[in-house]
Amino acid sequence: MKNLIEYIATSLVDKPEEVSVREVQDGQVCTLELSVAKDDIGKVIGRQGKTARAMRVLLGAASTKAQKRVMLDIVE
């Protein structure tokens, strides 16, 4: 799932070399922290958060299939 978010984010931004995804395990919940360049944060979030919401929906579908609980945080 980390690779999925990293692939989507690098496809969206202008500086793909600055994309990083960190996985934080907290009990049953796994949190993926996505950080991108300051100029690209708007591209990852999208208008009214639509791109971020779509990424969370895809992550939710993948995590349901893997029987895990995964959350996405976009870090500045």
**Residue 67, pLDDT above cutoff 90:** no
- Cα separation, 47 vs 17, in Å, equals 23
Q: Structural domain of residue 65, as residue ranges? A: 2-75
**Per-residue pLDDT at 73 exceeds 90:** yes
CB 55 within 8 A of CB 49: no
* Helix (H), strand (E) at residue 9: helix 2-12
pLDDT digits (tens, 9 = 90+) for 2-56: 999 999 999 999 999 999 999 999 888 999 999 999 999 999 999 999 999 999 9
Instruction: Name beta bridge partners: 22.
Output: 33
Global pTM value: 0.87
Query: Do 75 and 8 meet the contact criterion of CB atoms below 8 Å apart?
Result: no
| CATH code of the domain in which 28 resides | 3.30.300.20
Do residues 56 and 47 make contact, with C-beta atoms less than 8 angstroms apart? no
What's the domain count of the chain? 1
